[in-house]
């Protein structure tokens, strides 16, 4: 009886589906932990901050790992109270193979490396996994689902817009390669290399590491820059409209 009451309390605190539309106190702490763990992983890469504090960062990492482990075990314990798994024969097993449980398990892994000592070879993957703890936040938000809905509702338009942009990208890269290859063989030495120029120009980033120097190349570049205005207007407008539809639908309840 006491255990059952505790389990119910834990479920209410740990599982977002228990309280739709609001976030429990425990989950606020979990969100804070995730952000702190990512923030610490980001800071650790900066030599001027990490130098001399390696041991402190290692212990912090182990602490985060332990806390995420506790949360994982708690979620596993109360998994059979979650309506999404309750109908199943082995609700805990079904939970174990859910996307959010796998993400939670992967979030614990980097701490093992911290305990084992920094294996230099695996360092890059460990760093990337620490940042990917951000994905744990996905459980508390329907942002990705909303964006997915918006993209799916206009998939033909977006496919068309990206096809046209891809077509212009390839043709522009080919023409520019033919125009600038002789003058700048290092920067426009092949069509794949010229695509770097095309992307940098069409997105209007314009770093300035590659740009045409021949008159024909400059004319082509001008045409591509102007065409890119329209090519970028299309997906931008489509996405903004789709997103606004999704948002409005969510604001109005179904009975409306």
Question: Which residues lie near its own copies (CB under 8 A)?
Answer: 38, 41-43, 45-47, 124, 127-128, 131-132, 134, 141, 143, 146-147, 154, 156-157, 160, 163-164, 167, 170-171, 173-175, 177-178, 189-193, 195-196, 199-201, 203-209, 211, 218, 221-222, 225-226, 228-230, 232-241, 243-244, 247
Q: Minimum distance from CB of 90 to its own copies (Å)? A: 33
Minimum CB distance to its own copies, residue 144 (Å)? 8
Q: Are 179 and 208 in contact (CB under 8 A)?
A: no
Q: What angle do CA 98, 82, 91 make, to 5 degrees?
A: 55
Name the residue nearer to its own copies (CB basis): 93 or 233. 233
Residue nearer to its own copies on the CB measure, 32 or 83: 32
Of 53 and 66, which has the nearer Cβ to its own copies? 53
Angstrom distance (rounded) from CA 25 to CA 28: 5
Q: How far is the CB of 244 from its own copies (least distance, A)?
A: 6
Q: Which two tokens stand for residue 80?
A: 């059979």
Q: CA-CA distance, 29 to 14, in Å (whole number)?
A: 10
Sequential DSSP letters for 164-221: HHHHHHHHHHHHHHHHHTTT-TTTSSSHHHHHHHHHHHHTT---SSS---SHHHHHHH
Helix-then-strand count for the chain, H and E: 12, 0
Query: Between vectors from CA 248 to CA 164 and to CA 144, what angle results, nearest 5°?
Result: 60
Residue 42 C-beta: closest distance to its own copies, Å? 5
- Shortest CB 143 distance to its own copies, Å: 5
Whichever of 82 and 107 has its CB closer to its own copies, that residue is: 107
Report the residue number, 90 or 128, with the smaller CB distance to its own copies: 128
Residue 128 beta carbon to its own copies: minimum distance, rounded to whole angstroms: 6
Question: What CA–CA distance (Å, rounded) separates 218 from 165?
Answer: 20
Q: Which is nearer to its own copies, 62 or 239 (CB)?
A: 239
What's the min distance (Å) between Cβ of 147 and its own copies? 7
The smaller minimum CB distance to its own copies, of residues 86 and 143, is found at 143
Long-range contacts of 187-194 (CB under 8 A, 24+ apart): none
């Amino acid at each position: 009886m006491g255990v059952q009451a505790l389990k119910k309390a834990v479920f209410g605190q740990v599982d977002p589906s228990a309280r739709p539309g609001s976030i429990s106190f425990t989950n606020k702490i979990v969100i804070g932990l995730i952000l702190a763990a990512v923030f610490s992983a980001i800071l650790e890469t900066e030599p001027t901050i990490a130098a001399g504090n390696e041991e402190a960062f290692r212990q912090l990492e182990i602490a985060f790992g332990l806390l995420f482990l506790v949360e994982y075990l708690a979620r596993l314990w109360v998994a059979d109270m979650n309506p999404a798994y309750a109908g199943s024969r082995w609700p805990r097993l079904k939970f174990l193979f859910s996307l959010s449980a796998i993400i939670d398990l992967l979030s614990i892994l980097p701490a093992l490396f911290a305990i084992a000592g920094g294996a230099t070879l695996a360092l890059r993957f460990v760093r990337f996994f620490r940042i990917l703890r951000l994905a744990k936040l996905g459980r508390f938000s329907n942002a990705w689902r909303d964006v997915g809905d918006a993209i799916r509702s206009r998939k033909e338009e977006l496919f068309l817009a990206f096809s046209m942009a891809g077509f212009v990208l390839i043709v522009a890269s080919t023409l520019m390669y033919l125009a600038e290859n002789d003058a700048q063989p290092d920067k426009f030495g092949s069509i794949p290399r010229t695509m770097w120029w095309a992307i940098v120009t069409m997105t209007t980033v314009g770093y300035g590491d590659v740009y045409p120097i021949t008159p024909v190349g400059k004319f082509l570049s001008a045409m591509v820059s102007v065409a890119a205005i329209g090519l970028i207007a299309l997906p931008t407008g489509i996405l903004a409209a789709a997103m606004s539809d999704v948002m409005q639908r969510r604001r109005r309840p179904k009975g409306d």
